[in-house]
Structure formats: C-alpha cells, structure tokens
Amino acid sequence: MSFTEYFELLFNDYTLRTISLGTAILGAICGMLGSFAVLRKQSLLGDAISHAALPGIAIAFLITGTKETNVLLIGALISGLIGAFWIRGITRRTHLKSDTALGLILSIFFGFGMLLLTYIQKQPNANQAGLDKFLFGQAATLLARDVWFMATVTLVCLLVLLLFWKEFKILLFDADYAKTLGFNTKMIDTLITSFIVLAIVLGLQTVGVVLMSAMLLAPAAAARQWTNSLGIMVVLAAFFGATSGVIGTAISASQNNLSTGPVIVLVAAAFVVFSFIFSPSRGLLFRQIRFVKNRKDLQLHKTLAFMFDIAKSHENISHPHTVKILNNFHGYTRKSLSKLEDKEYIRVEGLMWAMTEKGFHFAENLYNQQVEEND
Amino acid sequence: MKQQKFAVTVDDLTVAYNYKPVLWDIDLAIPEGVMMAIVGPNGAGKSTLIKAILGIIDPIAGSVSIYGKPYKKQRKLVGYVPQKGSVDWDFPTTALDVVLMGTYGSLGWIKRPGKKEKKTALESLEKVGMLSFKDRQISQLSGGQQQRVFLARALAQDAAIYFMDEPFQGVDATTEIAIINILKELRKEGKTVVVVHHDLQTVPEYFDWVTFLNVKKIATGPVKEIFNDDNLTKTYGINYKVSVQK
C-alpha cells in the first residue's frame, strides 16, 4: 500500500481511521503533559511510571482472568501510581537522589512484571497469549470505544489545564514561591503527576511500556526549541505528538511488518532532530552560523580598528600605508583587505592601503556599535 | 518611647532536616519598619529561617506570627524574594509574566490576572528600572536583571513585610545600588524588610537592624548597638575584625 492509498483509505476504511484517530489523540495528550514533565526536569519519571505499569497488567490478568483492555489498564494505572509515589517517597525520605530512585523503581517493577508475564505464559490457559503486546504496544487492537475513552480523558485533561493554567505555571517555575502565596502545591503536583500517569496508561496499548516515555518527551523537547512561551510550547507539543501519531500510523500501515508504536516514536524523534538543528533561535545550525559570522565580523572590525590606530597618527587620515604592517596582527587575513575594500572602508593600491573617510568614521564608533548589535 | 509594634515574632523555632538541627530554639521579634540583615556563616540556617517563617519548611517545633496572627492568615501582608538560583531561568516565559506571578496570591485559585494585575506588574517593573525589558525572555536577562525581576515580582505583591534571600548575590554594583535604593524606599513607606545578607562590610551602611545567626540566635538589635567584633566573633567562631563605621 502506498502513501496516497493510505490517505484514501483513511477516509474510507473504518479500522484505519479509528487507529489513526487514536494515535493522534494519544500523541496530543502526551505532548501536552510531556511539556510539564520536561519543564519540571522529570523526563525520566514517565519512563519509570510506564515500566512500573507492567506488573499491574499481569496482576490484573491473574486476578480477573480476562484480557479486557480496560481491566488490564486499571491494573496498569494502579501499579503506575504506586511506582510514581514510591519514587517521590524515596527521594523525600532517604538520601538517594531522584535518578537513583527512578532507576530502582523502574527496574524492580519492570523485572517483577516480566517475571509475572513469563509465569502467565507457562500456564495451561489458552487465554494468556498476547499479554506481551503491552511491551511494545499494538495499535491495531485499538477499538472505537478505546478512542472515545482517550478523547474523553484528553478533553478532561485539557479543561483542567485551562482552568488551573496559572497554578500549573507557577508551580513549574517556582514551587516554593507558589507555596508562600497560599497555593496548595502538593495538590497541584499530585494533579499533574496523576494526569501524566493517566496519559502513560492510555498509551500502553498503542506504544507499549518500553517506548512510552518517548511519546511524552519527544514532542515536548521538539516544541521547546521553537518558542519561549509556555502556552505555545504546550500547543506545539500537542501538535507534534498528534502529527507523529498520524504519520507513524500511515508509514506502518503502508508497509508490511512494521509495528506502529516504534514507528510513531521514530517519527517523533525525527521532529526532535529537525527542531534541534533547524530552530531559528535555539537550533544548532543557526547558532553555529551566527557564531561564525559574529566571529568573522569581530575579526574584521578589530583589523579595521588596528588600521584606524595607524591612520589616526597621521594628519591626513587617507595617507597610504604598507600592507606589511598588518601581517603580524592576529585575526588579519588577505581576505579581510578585500572585504574592507568592498565596504569602502579602505582603498587598496598595490601593496599600500589607505583609510577612507567612511571607514574612519565607522572605526571611530566601532565598540559602541558592537555592543548595540549584541544587545 | 512609644510602644514598639512587632511585624514578625518567632517563638522557640526549631528546624531539622535529618537528625542535626538547622535552627535551634530561635526567639526573634522584628519591630515594624526596620530594615534588618540576617548574617551568619554558611550553613547557619539563614535561608531556612526565612523559609520556616514563610511556611515553606515545616518546623519541628515553635511558632511564627505576623502582626500577631499565624502566617496562613496573613499571607497577603508578606512578600518574598527567593534566591535567584532557586529557579530555572531557561523556563519559557517573559519578565512581565514572572512579575505577574506576584499578583497570583491576591487572585487566589483559578482566576486569571486581568488589566488591574497587569498594571501593577508594569508599575513594579518600572520601579526596578526594567520596564523596557518586559517582553524579554528571562534567560536572556543578565544576573542583575533577573534579580530585579524577582524584586519586582515581590513588589507586585504589595506587601507590608518583605523577606529577601541574598538579593545581592552575583549582581553588579549598579544593580546593588538600585536594589538598596528600592529597599530604602520601602522602609520610607513604613514597610519592614528582612534580608539574608553576606557582605558584612555593607551591613552598617545598608541596614538599621541586624540578627546574628548560627543555628542558634546569637544576637539581635539595632546595628549601632550590637554590630561589633564581639558578636561577629561569637557568630563566625574566629576572631573577626571589621571596621564599623560609626
């Protein structure tokens, strides 16, 4: 199936439309909440929570015996929440740093989950097959009601976000200060963490426990590159997430044997790479270009300043001097001369140069201009 | 002499993070309208004292009152300038937006800042000489400018008592003078200002009241009476000599 066929199908094929809508909504909610995780420097929290959700899925299956997605996800939610609050407890009550706490909870819960999964697979019960789809997710299993549920949660999340926008913002920027103003920071914090856990659990079916954190972080990290406003960042992250979902689904549907979850994550990663290189203000490319240009300008200006000092000592500023004097000046190259000549700051005749009126005035105010340009 | 009114009273305040107490049995009464420096060596609990008064840290024991009532009931009378390094200045927001946060307390939950709050924030920025930087992304401000934005945020709270945690740390001389002029302005308006301060040399010049702190309170009172080598030695544990300008 080619790409165009996919888009034709998107409007005709019910299943594909459902899956695309599901991954788009998932990408949007993850991008939104991921912005908060990134700004709180809790990027790894999502990773720990998603891994911590695995034993919950297995235990839910062991207790109920069904593979009903909603039941399993409730199990995931509970163990994800337990993992999240244990991480907070460990960092608060022991000397361990948060990265250690995250690593501990992640590996202990995930290990326990894998243990339960292998135990379940050895059971003589035909029903057990397919639980391991939660490891890497399987978007094809998304049903219309799953998508409806996701959409509802996203909407609720959006409403809460709009309602408590001011509180979220101040907590993210300066939690202590928020506390002195009388805001219950614990409650806002719990609200954010709970929503992040909810978003992760929603994504488990599609993307799986192993790659879920990328869905949270990648769109947010990409969005941060393009804006200096929290509001725009959240909107952009939601947009990047949704787009990754749709494009990822399209690519995976148009090829055989490409599972959707990893492809979505790779598309999101492509957004990150693109943003890190090409964003105008923070991107590596433009920063490097600006850096090189600034350096060259400075070198040129310094050369001119050196020439200015020489020219100044003569009564006639346009008195010619030999090029040789410049040879020992650091930052002077052959090119500088022709560049300065192009700008009509100097005139070059043979092996002699002379300052022009224009160059003299420019050089006089050089330092001030340099400061203004950078301001 | 008229009856002195206390802006802040601290009784038997004890704070511990793990086992070791950071503050031990602090009694402190700060008279209304003074400009007080809290001085002491590193780890003396200076910031902790402010944080405990403001309810950021839960004390093990003791009580704090602001004009005779618990802090929780008097929040709107208190403004706070945290240490500049306590936040991430790469956060995606502008100077004006940070100053607007000073009005959040009086707004309460959910309500968004409106025209009135924006006007307050702009006026506060003007007072610290940062009006032209209002739309500047905060990471693009210099250290001194960031400190002024923090000060403007506290001014936007329109409080009666201001607590400031090392407002002069890492700022240039121009900003230091600008800040101290604003503090003097506040005192003229009858407000109380409490500052965690590091530079002992400038204490007599900037402040009229001082508290020596090193886990325990060593002394508190007017700078003219108690800012002497004896108290400095007791606080810093070494033979301290500063030339106090009388």
- Summarised one tens digit per residue, pLDDT across range A12-23 is 788 888 999 999
What pLDDT score does A323 carry? 79
Chain A partners of B72 at a C-beta cutoff of 8 Å?
182
Distance from CA of B238 to the nearest CA of A (A): 32
Q: Touching check for B113 and chain A: CB below 8 Å?
A: yes
Query: Between residues 178 and 237 of chain B, which touch chain A (CB distance below 8 Å)?
Result: none
Q: Which amino acid is at A227?
A: T
Q: Touching check for A229 and chain B: CB below 8 Å?
A: yes
- Each residue's pLDDT expressed in tens, for chain B with a length of 246 residues: 445 789 999 999 999 987 788 999 999 999 999 999 999 998 899 999 999 999 999 999 999 999 989 988 899 999 999 999 899 999 999 999 999 999 998 888 888 999 999 999 999 999 999 999 999 999 999 999 999 999 999 999 999 999 999 999 888 888 899 999 999 999 999 999 999 998 899 999 999 999 999 999 999 999 999 998 888 888 988 766 655 444
Long-range contacts of A345-348 (CB under 8 A, 24+ apart): A345/A304, A346/A304, A346/A307, A347/A318, A348/A323
Q: Which amino acid is at A135?
A: L
Domain(s) labelled CATH 1.10.10 in chain A stretch across: 286-374
Chain B partners of A167 at a C-beta cutoff of 8 Å?
104, 109-110
Cβ within 8 Å of residue A166, ≥6 positions away: B104, B107, B110, B111, B112, B113
- What is the C-alpha separation between B75 and B79, in angstroms, rounded? 8
The CATH label, of 2.60.40, 1.10.10, 2.40.160, 1.20.120, for the domain at A286-374 is 1.10.10
Across chain B, where does the E strand assignment appear? 6-16, 21-31, 35-39, 61-66, 69-70, 78-81, 161-165, 192-196, 209-214, 216-222
Residue numbers of chain A with a pLDDT score lower than 70: 1-3, 6, 125-129, 330-331, 367-375
Q: Which amino acid is at A248?
A: G
B79: left (phi over 0), alpha (psi -120 to 50) or beta: beta
Q: Touching check for B107 and chain A: CB below 8 Å?
A: yes
B109, A183: Cβ pair inside 8 Å?
yes
Chain Cα centroid distance, residue B50: 7
What pLDDT score does A352 carry? 82
Domain A3-280, what architecture?
Orthogonal Bundle (1.10)
Domain(s) labelled CATH 1.10.3470.10 in chain A stretch across: 3-280
pTM assigned to the model: 0.86
